[in-house]
Amino acid sequence: MFPLQRNRRLRTNESIRSIVRETSLSPQDFMLPMFVAEGKDVKSAIPSMPGIFRHSLDHTLREVKEAWDLGIRAVNIYVKVSDNLKDNTGKEAWNKDGLMQQTIRAIKDAVPEMIVMPDVALDPYSIYGHDGIIENGYVVNDATVDALTRMSLSHAEAGADFVAPSDMMDGRVLSIRKALEENGHHNVGIMSYSAKYASAFYGPFRDALDSAPVDLQDVPKDKKTYQMDYANRLEAIKEALDDVAEGADIVMVKPGIAYLDIVREVKNAVNVPVSVYHVSGEYAMIKAAAERGWLDHDRIMIEQLYCIKRAGASLISTYFAKEASALLNQKL
């Protein structure tokens, strides 16, 4: 009791604060999301995500090497698919010579120790911009799971360390795990987007991949029949536990900052690492506010990343990965 206990004694200076600090943050905590485009010498800006680009494979490899040198040890890959390759089946997603598969092979050749986690979902390949196959105006589950399983196998065969299903279909983790085991890919992990909410924070990401749902009759106008209702908490715990039971090695909560209560709940419930996606809208808000002088960019960036880690994240997928790593490395 006061004055025997004065809590401020442990905040007196930075040296004291550093030795009692409960949470640490380093580049190894980050995964860098990357957007890959067809062609050569392509560096296409994404206006709603300042500082983020769609890169052709040659530039992507340079980015991966730079990330490795900064201490980042994982990349999450997304591809911008040409319109002529899109349909309602997603068959381009498991083309062994497709852009994703070429990218996985090239990264593993260039930086073998970099952990490559390609995205597993059909929206970049869909003419409708949905994460699954549409029949009679509905995104069907089981046919989509079959497609996602074929996609995951093609990623494993290309050399992926993990596959990352982000679609939120029921039973897809079990189907993917069985297929990986049956085909000898025992050491290929699954990072499942277990609690992915139907969030408005994804807008800039959909600009990056041109993957927003199209406005057509008999096409669902949003993704609320498969992504989670943001009013729900217990559902997230159930989804994460189900995915672990089906064979997920890592579970993800998405978005990040606005969902830290869910991160902590999931962390307390599962016995596997929890990853968090610090999503495009969260990134864009900081960039926009900093450009207007309303926030200190670097301070708010690091604060948010610390908050995500403090909530229970073992791995943070963030567009700030390179900037934050460079800043943290200066302070080592």
Q: How far is the C-alpha of 240 from the C-alpha of 221, rounded, in Å?
A: 26
Q: Which residues pair with 251 in a beta bridge?
A: 192, 274
- Indicate the angle between helix axes 321-330 and 297-311, nearest 10 degrees: 100
Residue 250 has a CB neighbour count (10 Å cut-off) of: 21
Q: How far is the C-alpha of 81 from the C-alpha of 85, rounded, in Å?
A: 7
Distances (CA, A) of 100 to 7, 190, 248, 291, 297: 53, 17, 22, 34, 33
Tokens of residue 123, six digits: 């929206």
In the set 86, 254, 267, 322, the catalytic residue is 254
Q: How far is the C-alpha of 149 from the C-alpha of 140, rounded, in Å?
A: 15
Is position 254 annotated as part of the catalytic site? yes
Is position 196 annotated as part of the catalytic site? yes
In the set 80, 108, 196, 322, the catalytic residue is 196
Instruction: Cite the active site residues.
Output: 196, 254
